[in-house]
Structure 1
Amino acid sequence: MTAENIEKLTKALAFTFATASGENPYMPAMAQIERWATQLDACGVRQTDDMAAEIPVLPQWMQAAVSERIEVGDPIDPAAVEVPVARVAKAPKLPKKPKPKKKA
């Protein structure tokens, strides 16, 4: 894992998310994009300098977000969390239907 390659991959992914979906871009958090870039780097994906030069300049706020190192905790496993389920009261029994009156 190289920090330089991860930064290049992060910028490439950020540019892709910002421009690939048209009018309403889906922009995940930069910390998540960096995680994806780290995973891609671990899988052997390399961002070469000639391809990195073709990526247009990212907006300044994106470049600042890429350079920041935000510590994000591990995601919570929903299966490991116990939700207390206690009954407060029992529901009353349903009322019986009245018998139809006989016509005389």
Structure 2
Amino acid sequence: MGIGLETDAVLAYSIGLLLLYLLGSSLMKIFKVPVKIIMTIFINSILGGLILFILNIFGQAYNFQIGINPLNALTIGVLGIPGLIMLIILKMIL
């Protein structure tokens, strides 16, 4: 009474896992820099959303709020403080 796996199936799974490992490791070497850039933008966007949240907490006293959405968070995440100033100016104009 075996577990029902034939040697061909075990060999095929082993070869598939080996190819998957080799493909994954080579793709990680190729895409190492773009993944790092994407993660940096993602983390900066989260921080941009937190900055918008803090701005909205303090802006309630002056009836000034900027919507917290992915586009505004990404703008602040990519551009930083100039992006925040740009959003404030756009809010005042519009």
Higher RCO (C-alpha under 8 Å, 6+ residues apart): 1
In terms of fraction of residues, the more helix-rich structure is: 2
TM-score of the pair, normalised by structure 2: 0.31
Whichever of the two has the greater Rg, that structure is: 1
